Structure 1
């Protein structure tokens, strides 16, 4: 898995019929994303939920604000799903939903779900999806600190555990 490779944006992608991709201001729903990833052929659905935590590098955070270049981000989500199917052809469903706007501590910022006949492939594909999203998608977050200061960072600029 090479996360340093950028996707060519010129080639059109035909999304898989069961996949779902979204950038939204609305709160994300674990139940909705799970249902979208569910399929009778699945033996596993793996869901990764990214949440706003109260500290970054030991510094108290009060909120995060997300912005995205939506058309390109959705295209990247589609490309991630296409790459998943090349590596794990048995995957039935890929769901990637990311939230934008100001989020409070504990709110879900991103949900990634993969439905597949086998759990090992579902886990691997889900991890690939979130890791690749963080490096490729044009999504930025602004960390609002307890002291009143704030700073913007690309989610791709975060360390692996952001």
Structure 2
């Protein structure tokens, strides 16, 4: 399943802009990424609670800064669906750390803090709030709610990375986004009928923190037991095979936890002689785990992933086979 990155914290702390930079970096690397914004999950205005202003007698606030204003069920549904479609899912919004079900799905959470003065000044410059902030809304609703969220986040600080939004300006965001992206331990799975590209897999797993990349390429050979092979034809149930390929990544990481990124692609349909049917790439700070992890991954793939191949021979005959190690167990 896809890696889920949650970006939460103070309003106007740069979450949306940071998300855009990370999305751009992921796409540049060839990673399939889906971003979801908390702002798209507010209930209709008539369902939002109104709060009487303490200071201004004739003023009512629409309280969009409490988690009850969000359609959490729809948000979680969309995150779970996105995990099936992408390699990386990014969810951004100021109240996300209050949503326990989202935190359970999240692999990494970043929380951006802000000082009160900086937060207020940035919010005053915004002209895209609907409804716009009424006088006193920041002091009575926005800031107290942020302090509550920050306190909750700090209670589980071992699971959350904090960053000071006061210390990062717009010019620094691209560099900071790159650093965040490079920290993500992604599992990238592809099942395709197109020709596989070794260099693409290297690009998917390479990271500044890693001193080793190990790759395996399985190609079609031209003979089998003294019979000349014309080509191979692969078939699979894509959803089932994809699920099992993610399990290959999971089991590989259990044995070799220092692995950073894993990319596995398997080709379907016809694969001519010398062309690749499977490519695996892993990255790690040191070569031992990268080499061992790649070796384990191809062996475990052969044992568990339901993919069948048809060997077609020069004499006109053909033979359907499961992955070879599956056959040994039957």
Name the TM-score, length of structure 2 as normaliser.
0.43
Q: Which has the higher strand share?
A: 1
Deviations 1:33-55 (A, max 9, x none): 11011111111100100000001
* Structure 1 consecutive aligned stretches of length 4 or more whose deviation exceeds 3 Å: 13-17, 156-160
Separation (CA, whole Å) in 1 of partners of 2:219 and 2:326: 15
Of residues 192, 211, 229, the one that matches 1:43 is: 211
Q: Is the counterpart of residue 81 in structure 1 residue 261 in structure 2? A: no
Q: CA deviation at 1:156?
A: 3.5
Of residues 11, 31, 51, the one that matches 2:199 is: 31
Classify 1:25/1:18 alpha carbon distance in 2 versus 1 (closer, same or farther; 3 Å).
same
Deviations 1:95-148 (A, max 9, x none): 110000011101110000111111111111001100010110010000000101
The structure with the larger Rg is 2
Q: Is the counterpart of residue 113 in structure 1 residue 285 in structure 2? A: no
Structure 2, gaps ≥5 residues long: 1-104, 108-183
Of residues 313, 316, 321, the one that matches 1:145 is: 313
The residue aligned with 1:129 is 297
Classify 1:80/1:56 alpha carbon distance in 2 versus 1 (closer, same or farther; 3 Å).
same
Pick 1 or 2: higher relative contact order, CA cutoff 8 A, min separation 6.
Answer: 1
Q: Which has the higher helix share?
A: 2
Classify 1:18/1:157 alpha carbon distance in 2 versus 1 (closer, same or farther; 3 Å).
closer
The residue aligned with 1:10 is none
Structure 1, gaps ≥5 residues long: 1-12
The answer on whether the counterparts of 1:23 and 1:100 sit within 8 Å (CA) in structure 2 is yes
Separation (CA, whole Å) in 1 of partners of 2:269 and 2:293: 27
Name the TM-score, length of structure 1 as normaliser.
0.85
Alignment of structure 1 residues 149-160 onto 2, 5 Å: 149-157=317-325
Separation (CA, whole Å) in 2 of partners of 1:97 and 1:135: 16
Classify 1:115/1:68 alpha carbon distance in 2 versus 1 (closer, same or farther; 3 Å).
same
SS of equivalent residue, structure 2 residue 209: coil
Q: Is the counterpart of residue 67 in structure 1 residue 221 in structure 2? A: no
Of residues 175, 180, 186, the one that matches 1:18 is: 186
Q: CA deviation at 1:14?
A: 8.1
